[in-house]
Chain A
């Protein structure tokens, strides 16, 4: 159902007249559009609010991966380390000291950012398989620490009993998930605005430069590794906030929030939507989790087969993801070459 709403939304994007040679102008309507579609989903699908909330929080996480991968070219299978750290930090703070949702988000972001900064400085000199292994190892260590520190994290039982205070002291988190969803959507939209600002800043452009050609960046006086470490830390903040958001909205944090498969799933969602486009993260997450919701209800293995075939298909036939289809169609519509 969600994906239908998304498709309608995208159709809207495509039919909008786009000034020649200014394709980037398409960007600014994206965020209001996502907010509008999100609100429409709130009215149209009141029974699926729990799913929609998870989609919003996961989209923020996938967005963090897009910053790292799409703008920095860092192939990682350990982004969930930051997500899990943020979720646990927020959960622990909420259970023990302060359950204000904004404080939880701040703590989560801080924890994720710090972890990313430290580990990024340690591992980002590597490339290829070595880098993949290092990111996996970081994720496994976080998971293992969370598993062993039972007193704080609840170990394999998960951390439960997180009971966030009302948002701004006014909106209680009700059992139907109305507040949860709107809160998650608001955080996602703010995250998108901030991310968009970051990738269009001189820093974001420098990161893209590193992705395209690290040698040239160092030749003109930049330090590729420094850019990547900062980008990794910034994305870590996003992932940490996403984790904290999950803790706020679901009230529970499990070990799998830092696991290898969550990192891999995020990668799948991002590639499904398209890397390096920010909106691809949101669209990919909505499509992935929407279809998952429908298919996995029957048999989780059917879902695995489906997503596996889909991934193979994407790599072979559609390297740009879902968003690139819209761009290609848009390109054809304007009688130009299809979007590359």
Chain B
């Protein structure tokens, strides 16, 4: 029972991190149809900036978090203009894979040059280091914080896409970019904003998840397969699909590590193949965006 509870808490927290990072990828993939393999690198950049801000510049955790997200978004916006804009659309799959792999390599090398190859930590504030009593059980505060942040992200995104003007335009552009443009929606700006949203979410997840997905230069390559798996299973552009897929994946992966440590990854990928075989557009494919 104790193990089950541990698995549930760790699994959900892990799943929430996967969700925060992957949903950024999902949104950009759903709108711009870009298979962005550099998404993990963006998350890593966010984590490193926060680590630097908290450790070397001595900023408090909350400020470091905001700075990291803001700086990552600012740093990647020129990339949208210069690189990504040329490869939008599903016809450019191979070009997308190559360009974003290239970008990932450059970022990995750059991070190593600036911060060195060692593992970096983001020190947690007092507030997040203890445990939270939850009836008879106690869960680590950081896990609770991560789960809360994930839930907030889910609700915030839902509100943004379903209840705001921006969301309406975005969904229109996903459904039919040419028609949306003809109706006076400025799709280029929309793309830029969506790209910023995606990288911002990546950076947020990278900072929050530094305890679970440790920061080192190969982070960008190591975890991108996980993020892509979430998006593929959840269905590109579907927020609730991403959330469900990320949580399922997080719990299954954590349970696999606890219970059958030898074959966790094997079952994970076998399940992935079976799911994608049966539902090629994602298990949770609903309406896009």
Interface residues of A (CB under 8 A from B): 69, 75, 77, 122-123, 125-130, 132-134, 136-138, 140-141, 144-145, 148, 260-261, 264, 267-268, 271, 275, 301-302, 304-305, 307-312, 314-316, 319
Given A123-B277, A126-B280, A305 contacting B265 (CB threshold 8 A): no
Choose from A133, A304, A319 the contact partner of B106 (Cβ within 8 Å).
Answer: A304
Instruction: Report the nearest B residue to A310, measured CB to CB.
Output: B102
**Complex contact A125–B280 (CB within 8 A):** yes
**Complex contact B273–A138 (CB within 8 A):** yes
Instruction: Report the nearest A residue to B266, measured CB to CB.
Output: A144
Q: Which 3 A-B pairs have the closest CB atoms?
A: A311-B102, A308-B105, A305-B109
Closest Cβ of chain B: how far from A160's Cβ, in Å?
23
Note all chain A residues with C-beta closer than 8 A to B105: 304-305, 307-308, 311
Task: Tell yes or no: B182 within 8 A of A by CB.
Answer: no
**Complex contact B104–A148 (CB within 8 A):** no
Instruction: Report the nearest A residue to B90, measured CB to CB.
Output: A128
**Complex contact B110–A305 (CB within 8 A):** yes
**Complex contact B269–A137 (CB within 8 A):** yes
Task: Tell yes or no: B211 within 8 A of A by CB.
Answer: no
Q: Which residues from 253 to 277 on chain B have a C-beta closer than 8 Å to any C-beta of chain A? A: 262-263, 265-266, 269-270, 272-273, 276-277
Complex CA–CA separation, A304 to B281 (angstroms): 33
**Complex contact A307–B269 (CB within 8 A):** no
Closest Cβ of chain B: how far from A322's Cβ, in Å?
14
Q: Which residues from 211 to 256 on chain B have a C-beta closer than 8 Å to any C-beta of chain A? A: 217, 221, 225, 228-229, 231-232, 236
Choose from B97, B98, B272, B281 the contact partner of A314 (Cβ within 8 Å).
Answer: B98
Note all chain A residues with C-beta closer than 8 A to B107: 308
Choose from A128, A144, A309 the contact partner of B35 (Cβ within 8 Å).
Answer: A128
Complex CA–CA separation, A267 to B97 (angstroms): 10
**Complex contact A307–B102 (CB within 8 A):** yes
Per DSSP, are chain A's interface residues mostly helix, strand or loop, or mixed?
A: helix
**Complex contact A133–B102 (CB within 8 A):** no
Q: Which residues from 106 to 125 on chain B have a C-beta closer than 8 Å to any C-beta of chain A? A: 106-110, 112-113
Note all chain B residues with C-beta closer than 8 A to A69: 94
Note all chain A residues with C-beta closer than 8 A to B95: 315, 319
Tell me which of B83, B94, B104, B270 has the highest count of chain A C-beta atoms within 10 A of its own C-beta.
B94
**Complex contact B94–A126 (CB within 8 A):** no
Task: Tell yes or no: B87 within 8 A of A by CB.
Answer: yes
**Complex contact A148–B266 (CB within 8 A):** yes
Instruction: Report the nearest A residue to B25, measured CB to CB.
Output: A129
**Complex contact B103–A308 (CB within 8 A):** yes
**Complex contact B225–A136 (CB within 8 A):** yes
Task: Tell yes or no: B149 within 8 A of A by CB.
Answer: no
**Complex contact A129–B108 (CB within 8 A):** no
User: Interface digits, B130-157 against A, CB 8 Å rule (1 contact, 0 not)?
Assistant: 0000000000000000000000000000
Note all chain B residues with C-beta closer than 8 A to A145: 266
Given A132-B35, A304-B109, A311 contacting B273 (CB threshold 8 A): no
**Complex contact B263–A148 (CB within 8 A):** yes
Note all chain B residues with C-beta closer than 8 A to A127: 280
Complex CA–CA separation, A260 to B272 (angstroms): 16
19 contacting pairs across A/B (C-beta < 8 A): A75-B93, A123-B276, A125-B280, A127-B280, A130-B281, A133-B228, A134-B276, A140-B225, A141-B266, A267-B101, A275-B94, A304-B108, A308-B105, A308-B107, A309-B102, A311-B98, A312-B103, A314-B98, A315-B87
Choose from A130, A132, A134 the contact partner of B97 (Cβ within 8 Å).
Answer: A132
Note all chain A residues with C-beta closer than 8 A to B99: 311-312, 315-316
Complex CA–CA separation, A302 to B112 (angstroms): 10
Tell me which of B35, B95, B102, B108 has the highest count of chain A C-beta atoms within 10 A of its own C-beta.
B102
Note all chain B residues with C-beta closer than 8 A to A138: 269, 273
Complex CA–CA separation, A271 to B280 (angstroms): 27
Complex CA–CA separation, A305 to B217 (angstroms): 13
Closest Cβ of chain A: how far from B2's Cβ, in Å?
28
Tell me which of B29, B98, B265, B282 has the highest count of chain A C-beta atoms within 10 A of its own C-beta.
B98
User: Interface digits, B61-105 against A, CB 8 Å rule (1 contact, 0 not)?
Assistant: 000000000000000000000010011001001110111011111
**Complex contact B229–A133 (CB within 8 A):** yes
Choose from B98, B106, B273 the contact partner of A137 (Cβ within 8 Å).
Answer: B273
Complex CA–CA separation, A261 to B220 (angstroms): 12
Complex CA–CA separation, A267 to B232 (angstroms): 21
**Complex contact B35–A264 (CB within 8 A):** no
Given A129-B236, A311-B98, A315-B95, A260 contacting B106 (CB threshold 8 A): no
Closest Cβ of chain B: how far from A76's Cβ, in Å?
10
Closest Cβ of chain B: how far from A110's Cβ, in Å?
22
Complex CA–CA separation, A219 to B258 (angstroms): 52
Add 20 more A-B contacts to A304-B105, A312-B103 (CB < 8 A).
A129-B232, A133-B229, A136-B225, A138-B273, A141-B266, A141-B269, A141-B273, A145-B266, A261-B221, A267-B98, A268-B98, A301-B217, A302-B109, A304-B109, A308-B104, A308-B108, A309-B102, A311-B101, A311-B105, A319-B95
